[in-house]
Amino acid sequence: MHEPAGKASARGPTAVPEVAWLEPVRWFALAVFVALPVFAFLVPRLAGRVVWTVVIALLPLMIVLGGYHRWRRICPLAWFMQLPARLGRPGERRASPWLQANYYYVVFAVFWVSLWLRLVATNGHGEALAGFLLLLTLAALVFGAVYTGKTWCNYLCPVSFVEKIYTEPRGLRPTPNSQCVKCTACKPACPDINQENGYWKEILSRPKRFVYFAFPGLVISFYFYYYLQAGSWEYYFGGTWTHEQDVLRTAFLPGADAKTAGFYFLPAVPRAVAALLTLALGTLLSYGLFTQVERLAGGRWRERRAELDQAGVRHWMFTITAFAAFITFYTFAGAPTIRLVTGAPHLFQILVVATATLFLARRFTRRQQAFAEETLARQIIRRWEWTDVKPPEDLRQALMLHTIRSQTQAGGYARLLEVYKEAVREAVASGFVSRAEVQRLESLRTQLQISQADHEKTMTDLAEEERARITDPVFQASAEKRLQLEAYVHALQSYLERVSQAAMVPHDSVIRHLRQEYAVSSEEHAAVLDDLLGKGQGIATHVAKAFEVVEGASRTLQFLGTAPSAAGLFLADVLARRRARAVDGLMRGFGCDPADDTFRNLRDRLLSEDEAVREAAVEALGGHVGTAVAVRLREVRREAARQAKTRKTLAEAAGADLASADPYTRVAALYLLGELAATDEETLTTLGRDEHEVLRETALCLILRGAGLESREETGLVTVEKMIALRSVPLFSSLAPEDLASLARASRETMFAPGQALCKEGEPGDEVFVLLSGDVQVLRQDGAEQKQVGGEKAGGFIGEMAVLDPAPRAATVVAGPEGTRVLRLGGGVFREVLRGNPSVVQGVIRALVARLRGSQARPRTEDKSQSVGAGSRGPA
């Protein structure tokens, strides 16, 4: 994470100023490209040498040293592809789903055929070479006139995959991206917007794997054919092949001599057939070799490096193949001309090896997690609030300074969480980072000093937002779609403002033209227009989702009330919390503050278990909005209630909760369904791939227990079972699921035999014991004897005094006559819970007060919603 921390943008990872030389070079490259067919036609004897040993030989080196995005701006074929758009006639068609899924095969096939054509025609035949260049230009022009955006560049250009192989996942240095001025979202994970994002999104693609693995063999076999045809390397390095004007005439005929032979050892084989066989064999052997290397070496790599996943192994393989192809290419490319200059071959090889080594080192150590961390870090640094100091260029230093300044301000941690949430929201919405990747960014959260519980609350809130907006075309989770609609909004807004100023009526033909230009669908246009013209009086999608949550949770809670269990109570608590969040969000959406006394009664009625009361509350809420919105509110709530009533059993209601945006609702519902024996293999397998760790663990546990492969006695309590057990302890009953999960992860289940000591008087201690079953006796040394001074039963806790005060244990605690089962909590996590949860602090204080008073009874518990811990009957 040592990239410059410049102002980030959806348009690229960093804001890097463009260099002044780029525009002149672009026009120079275009002029050279236009002149090449003319030169090839007029001076055919020199055309092959100039094009293949100078221009094409320099191209990969230019791309690597200049950068992927700079080359995309310079490329002459890209200029011809964009010419129809410059003339006001842009293409409108989009690449088919098949092409989007298989375009690596397509561009590789075009490149493969181009190399074959070189060996049988365009190497030394000036007219054939001129025709080939004109054909490429015409193809780019036609596709630019038919297809939208950079469809040609991304899906069909034979050079496109070579650009990627030599520069992915990122270049030798940061460069501005090459995004279109008018983005039409022609390609998901567009490399012109963010090349590295596209690389990681496609890292496990089968077509990409084939092309990367096959490419080195294709390069080797192409150059090796010169030897196979002539029987000597002098044929290639001497440059004879660059001016063979009659090769096309004899390429498809049986060979008769050394000049017309297909193979020097089998001259009768036509050159076209021999070249085809050589290229095909080299391609397949290369693919097979690197496939085996990945299979054999990949397993060993993953054994030695636990953090290396399948994507990491594939990345290493892609790096190796790119390095092999680059070195092989420059062992031959340009050599027939470079060797004519004394000393040039050695200097050129030094440049090539140095360049290859640099990008090998830069690529080999790169990780997908590092990309995700940097993306999120830039979003955080974008929100830099301190004008007295600029953010450091190093992202780690910038984050450290940001964290220190945030924490030292009043309300700093709350503001830091807000910034973190905004950054995650934008990073995920841009498409550069997935929710699963955010879940794995532990080192970044450690730098920001954000707890796991607060992170999970953030992710849950964002999941709610994402599901509420998923049907809204304005909020597509794609950088390309966002940029496309942003550009369209500006263009449409500008046109509507001009129309308004001139007191005119918007003309349909102009709007149709804008839609075509930006490739915007009618649904997307309607949503954008609705927002711009202020006609968004219809109910927002998130309001409908809020009612789905409220009515669905109420339905499940009805069933849970008739069949109480520990798992059911846990699900009920999670649903009640989620329903409350949905109601609060709904009220804020209509300008009502749930904390305001005026609206507090309305909030309580919306949370009522009585549907009639909820219906009346919606009527009251409708009084704060327009008539049309009030009518729609009632309709949406009634439809949500109708859908909820279709769930006739607890299993059906809990099954519907498996689709919740809240991960702990899914966890609690799944565990309850497991207890009801109402799960199926397909559901468990699907949830076993969920982004949330606890849900994956729960699904796997149910699969193994259901198959009889493991028992509860063998596995012990899994995280969700620890959460349920902790919640049954009054001290922790008011904790949010995220906090319970933090405690559960940090706890260890331990069984103590009768009389076995949990802790001993005088020894240091940094653990709290939560009693799950059985009881314990508290003993204190009195002279030569130990006397019982207290005890504790299931539901209580022991050992908190040694955690709060570093003094040695004040008493010995031993298991009772029947033994005891406990959860052992580390002192650090217990103190963390105390800092963030007043109700737990209150419970501990009451327990300590009870001890000081010498009370033998537990502190009096009040309302369960304000949990009070059960105090132990003796200090420890």
Ramachandran angles phi, psi of 779, nearest 5°? -120, 145
CA quadruple 348, 351, 355, 358: dihedral sign: positive
In this predicted model, which residue has the larger pLDDT, 326 or 679?
326
- The candidate with the shortest Cα–Cα distance to 583, out of 555, 611, 634, 621, is 621
CA–CA–CA angle 225, 229, 233 (5° rounding):
75
| 594 CB neighbour count, 10 Å cutoff | 17
Q: What's the mean pLDDT in 731-751?
A: 85
Phi-psi region of 504 (alpha: psi -120 to 50; beta: other; left: phi over 0): beta
503: left (phi over 0), alpha (psi -120 to 50) or beta: left
Predicted confidence band at 380 (pLDDT cuts at 50, 70, 90)?
confident
Kindly report, residue by residue over 123-153, the tens digit of the pLDDT. 999 999 999 999 999 999 999 999 998 999 9
The H or E element spanning position 788 is strand 785-793
Give the mean pLDDT of 245-250. Answer: 88
Residue closest to 298 by CA, chosen among 318, 280, 282: 318
In the structure, what pLDDT confidence band is assigned to residue 370 with cuts at 50, 70 and 90? confident
- Under 8 Å between Cβ of 548 and 124: no
Calpha distance 741→732 (Å, rounded): 11
Using CA atoms, how far apart are residues 405 and 454, in angstroms rounded to an integer?
A: 19
In Å, how far from its chain's centre is CA 575? Answer: 28
User: In the prediction, which pLDDT does 398 show?
Assistant: 66
Q: CB-based burial of residue 62 (10 Å sphere; 0-12 exposed, 13-18 middle, 19+ buried)?
A: middle
37 three-class SS: helix
- Residue 11 exposed, middle or buried by CB count within 10 Å (0-12, 13-18, 19+): middle
Burial state string for 273-312 with b = 16 or more CB within 10 A and e = fewer than 16: ebbbbbbeebbeebbeebeeebeeebeeeeeeeeebeeeb
pLDDT, one tens digit per residue, over 324-367 is 999 999 999 999 999 999 889 889 989 999 999 998 888 888 88
275/676: higher pLDDT = 275
Task: Give the model's confidence band at 591: pLDDT under 50 very low, under 70 low, under 90 confident, else very high.
Answer: low
> How far is 251 from 13, CA to CA, in rounded Å?
49
Residue with the larger pLDDT of the pair 560 and 497: 560
> At 819, which amino acid appears?
G
Could you tell me if 148 and 184 are in contact, meaning their C-beta atoms sit under 8 angstroms apart? yes
Residue 3 is predicted with a pLDDT of 38
Which phi and psi angles does 365 have, rounded to 5°? -90, 0
pLDDT at 541 over 70: no
Q: How confident is the model at residue 282 (pLDDT cuts 50, 70, 90)?
A: very high
Give whole-number Cα distances, 863 to 65, 733, 734, 774, 860, in Å: 69, 11, 10, 26, 10
Tell which wins on pLDDT, 738 or 848: 738
What Rg value do the Cα atoms of the chain yield, rounded? 34
Residue 390 banded pLDDT, cuts 50, 70, 90: low
Paired strand residues for 820:
752, 774
Rounded Cα gap, residues 801 and 872, in angstroms:
11
Amino acid found at 724:
I
Lowest mean pLDDT among 231-235, 448-452, 789-793: 448-452
Say what the pLDDT of residue 226 is.
Answer: 96
Those residues with Cβ within 8 angstroms of residue 309's Cβ, 6 or more apart along the chain or in another chain:
302
Across the range 861-868, mean pLDDT stands at: 36
Element (H, E) at 519: none
Q: Taking 50 as the threshold, does the pLDDT of residue 689 lie above it?
A: yes
User: Do 371 and 12 touch, CB atoms closer than 8 A?
Assistant: no
For residue 258, the Cα-to-chain-centroid distance in whole angstroms is 57
Higher pLDDT, 311 or 808: 311
Residue-range domain boundaries for the chain: 22-364, 368-470, 479-532, 542-678, 734-852
How much is the average pLDDT of 226-240? 94
- Residue 873's pLDDT is 41
Q: What is the pLDDT of residue 127?
A: 92
CB 158 within 8 A of CB 107: yes
Render pLDDT for 599-609 as a digit per residue (tens, 0 to 9): 788 888 888 88
Question: In the chain, pLDDT over 70 holds for what percent of residues?
Answer: 79
3-class secondary structure for 124-138?
CCHHHHHHHHHHHHH
Angle ∠(306,308,314) on CA atoms, nearest 5: 155
Q: C-alpha angle with apex 647: 646 to 650, nearest 5 degrees?
A: 165
541 phi/psi in degrees, rounded to 5: -60, -40
Which SS3 state, helix, strand or coil, does residue 778 take? strand
Res 874: pLDDT? 47
Pairing of strands 747-752, 767-782: unpaired
Residue in 664, 875, 656 with CA at minimum distance from that of residue 778:
875
Output the pLDDT for position 442: 67
pLDDT at residue 870 tops 60: no
Q: What are 5-14's pLDDT values in tens digits?
A: 333 344 444 4
Q: Is pLDDT above 70 for 863?
A: no
Q: Which pLDDT score, from 0 to 100, does residue 585 have?
A: 77
Alpha carbon 847 to its chain's center: 46
Task: Give the span between the Cα atoms of 609 and 601, in whole angstroms.
Answer: 14
Residue 467 pLDDT greater than 70, yes or no: no
* Four-residue CA torsion sign, 48, 52, 54, 55: positive
Residue with tokens 């501005």: 176
Whether the pLDDT of residue 81 is over 60: the answer is yes
Lowest mean pLDDT among 310-319, 331-340, 397-406: 397-406
809 has a pLDDT exceeding 70: yes
Judged against a pLDDT cut of 60, whether residue 680 lies above it is answered with yes
Angle at 866 between CA 864 and CA 867, to 5 degrees: 70
More confident: 548 or 597: 548
Query: What are the structure tokens assigned to 496, written together?
Result: 């509507």
Q: Cα–Cα distance between 865 and 733 in angstroms, integer?
A: 8
Q: What is the pLDDT of residue 437?
A: 65
Work out the mean pLDDT of the chain and round it to a whole number: 81
Q: CB 745: neighbour CB atoms within 10 A?
A: 14
Closest CA to 456 of 260, 721, 695, 629: 695
Q: What is the distance between the terminal CA atoms of the chain, rounded to a whole angstrom?
A: 46
d(CA 101, CA 95): 10
Q: Count other Cβ atoms within 10 Å, centred on residue 448.
A: 25
Rounded to 5 degrees, φ, ψ at 798 are -140, 145
Q: At residue 653, does pLDDT exceed 60?
A: yes
Q: What Å distances lie between residue 374 and 4, 398, 711, CA to CA?
A: 10, 11, 43
Residue 767: predicted pLDDT = 84
241, two tokens: 């092949």
Both tokens assigned to 364: 């080999």
pLDDT of residue 575: 92
d(CA 725, CA 772): 7
CATH C-level class of 734-852: mainly beta
* Six token digits for residue 363: 């690529």
Highest mean pLDDT, choosing among 445-454, 514-523, 669-678: 669-678
Write out pLDDT tens, residues 257-281.
888 999 999 999 999 999 999 999 9
Q: Report the C-alpha gap between 247 and 520 in whole angstroms.
A: 50
